[in-house]
Chain A
Amino acid sequence: MILPLAQHIGKPAVPLVRAGEEVLRGQPIARADGFLSVPIHAPADGVIEAIELKPSARGPMVESIVLRVYEASTQELRWAEPRDLAALEPKELIQAIQDTGMVGLGGATFPSHAKLSVPGEFPIHTLIVNGCECEPYLTCDHKLMLEHPDDLMVGTRLAMRAIGARRAIIGVEDNKLDAVESIRRHLPADGSISVEAVQTKYPQGAEKMLIKSLLGVEVPPGKLPMHVGVVVNNVGTLAQLGQILPAGQGLTERVVTVTGPGIKKPGDYWVPIGTPMRTVLEWAGAPDVSEREIILGGPMMGQAVASLDVPVTKGVSGILVFDKPHMDDGAERKSYPCIKCGECVNVCPMGLNPSMMGMLAARREYDAMGEHYHLGDCFECGCCTYVCPSHIPLVQQFRVAKGILREKAQ
């Protein structure tokens, strides 16, 4: 098993173990380095083989803890410190959340405790629980809502306490009404938590889109949800928090959607964090993936991986295996100059002008993109590239432009 030290946004964790050390499932093996950082827990009983560079989903080698799992390792969690959460102050609660190593499981991997620590000047009135699947193909959140609504309620209440919100709305896309039903049966009697169905439309799962759908409020450019008194958390995050926080456990596994035409047994699997892709794919009945594309995350924003040694990390919501004809066949698809059809402008959820930005990017006028065309508001949903009849890789151009502007700023 391979556990990168940086599975979250923020500073990488600091190893607490040395090579050769034996660890128990659930034991912390790396600690948080500062506030914007989270610990990592051992996903299984075993022995630490090494702490070394291993391939990551994004390509570069990253510092990782390598764990050799004992054959006899069981599902039993052998390391936990149950705590009485009712007695905790919000501050202590947030510390307890950090100790679980929880991050945004939708894929953003922003440390949950940091998200739930809102500065005093922004009073939070509503916690929005994001039950919209981030992307097409993914079903992990849907499954959790169906099967663990009780945990979701516990987690939602804890999060409300941490941020001081008096109400919570669970927003679920209207193609998952069974999940709405399942949650409704578990709602508390005091009416503080409600569930609402919203239109099924990508990218409904994007924070700002969901806030608009539920509250009719738009978060201003460059601002965060807390600036309008809202905090958004993913259902998966809260459901698992509701399960592990009272038990005093760490985050050692997550639900991963494994699907795509190349998978024989598609489904949502509980996967221990750190499991190499190869193992997951063998389990799901995809022994031969050559000439195919393996995507971590969803089809719109996911990352294609170059190696089967890449592990499932905290932010991996899905593993898709696509056949060739299923993919956009970039080589065969001819790219044309922009014909200014305006489709990308019509579909951009942020009200940007991808057509113009694409032309600027082609001329390397990155500053103009940032200053006049709000490049920073693009969250790379991929809609513009999806509709482009000229097959211009708009999102990729924007990613490059953002990277260049970031470098310039430094």
Chain B
Amino acid sequence: MTDQTAYNFAYLDEQTKRMIRRAILKGVAIPGYQVPFASREMPMPYGWGTGGVQVTAACLVPEDRLKVIDQGADDTTNAVSIRRFFQRTAGVEVTEATADATVIQTRHRIPETPLTEGQILVYQVPIPEPLRFLEPRETETRKMHELEDYGLMHVKLYEDISRHGQIATAYDYPVKVEGRYVMDPSPIPKFDNPKLGGNAAIQLFGAGREQRIYALPPYTQAISLDFDDYPFAASKADHSCDLCAAPDSYLDEVITDDQGSRMFVCSDTDFCASRRAAGHIGPMGAPRAGADVE
């Protein structure tokens, strides 16, 4: 990476991008279906978002405005690193404002601000197979998807209820897409699940190490698995944001001393900062100085 001109726009060569785009198109055509693709070694490790990075690289055009978040935040180290990678290799404009971005690469969150038509949300996916922890063999799980055999998953959810009185999955909560494929939404908290279905943006999922791409085209139905008598419920910490007072955003818990004191703050840093800029102040918040919104 010493000489950035030695690399193609957005790092990958055009042939590789074409291969990835084909996989994306197939994914869009069959929502929720995991399309195998010949994932490349990227200059960051597997597990750091190589799948998402490849999907983003295949989607980017020079006019794009890119936003990268990790845990909802623009300033987490890995988000900084990936954003920098594309600044360096693609020279695209970057932004922290959800509404201004044309492509958003994310790890573990869907932004609070509703997405709009024309935006692309790219998820980094560690394990694309929702059935993997029920059946470790790929040969078996592919067969189960082919046969639409999701009994095992329902048994698992049922066992959760019989043991814990509720479905004990807090993140990475599986959804059924358009009544066909059960899909892993990547490890987003189940709080974010309702935003998967009917979303105006294109949602693309890239799993580099596992060599899979899948997609939710705009306004696709994605229903979180549940039972009639135990309906799905999105959940979050029972607080408001201590900085911006938002009552309805997903919160991170921050330990503030070793005496058990803690505070709750929006995990979506752009959402929180914009609210504070608009004058919403939580109990521990202060109007933000303009400088650190950069």
* A, B assembled together: no
Q: Which residue numbers of A lie inside 8 Å of B, CB to CB?
A: none
